[in-house]
Amino acid sequence: MTTDVPLSRLPPGTLVEGQTFVDEDISHLAGLEFFTCRFEGCRLADARLSKVVFERCEFVGCDLTKLLWGSSSLRGVRFMDCKLMGVNFAGAADNPEFSFDGCLMRYCVFDGVNLRGIPFHNCHLHDASFVECDLNDADFGGCDLEGAVLRNCRMAGADFSTATGLFFEPAQNRARDAYISPETAIQLARAAGLRVAGTDQPLSATTTKRKKR
């Protein structure tokens, strides 16, 4: 459907297909269906959506800070260079299909969300929450996960090899076969009370220095 009618005035159930929306305020939408649409620089900060369907859509440079999904569906949706701070993805419909590239995602909540195979590339995920998530085969290439909480997650095949700031308790997750960086491996070893060759002094050397004092 192609229309010049403002989105806020379209009735629920309307299909909007193949349209590009630039610098628009689309913060109050309900029951619309978007197929192969592109949103550039659009403002959805503090927006309240209600059962909106986004299928094979792209969000580029949009501000979605603290967006409330209202059980909206995300099917094959790409977020690129967007602000998604404080967004709770648990409020979207079940089993979302999306990808993130270069997004600012501090304080995002993914608790209980199926993120199997989801790509997060070069995203800032400071203090994000991943509790009881399926992270199997998820890709966090180049992401900053400082302060992120990972608990009761399935992580087989998850790729954190180029992520920074990551720390989690292996005993609180099913972390077998997760791929982590040397930095994360060192942090996990230290948390377990181990000393890492090349980064920490041997205990004997530390004791000798204390005696000399």
The rounded distance, in Å, linking the Cα atoms of 14 and 10 is 7
- The pTM score is 0.87
pLDDT digits (tens, 9 = 90+) for 30-64: 899 999 999 999 988 888 999 999 999 999 999 99
Contact 35, 14 (CB under 8 A): no
The pLDDT of residue 80: 98
pLDDT digits (tens, 9 = 90+) for 75-84: 999 999 999 9
Distances 122 to 41, 101, 105, 130, 203 between C-alpha atoms, Å: 19, 6, 11, 17, 38
Beta-strand pair 159-160/33-35: unpaired
The pLDDT of residue 208: 53
Q: Which helix (H) or strand (E) holds 184?
A: helix 182-191
- Laid out side by side, the sheet with 33-35 consists of 15-17, 33-35, 53-55, 73-75
User: Hey, what are 157's tokens?
Assistant: 């095949």
**Look-up: residue for tokens 């308790």?**
169
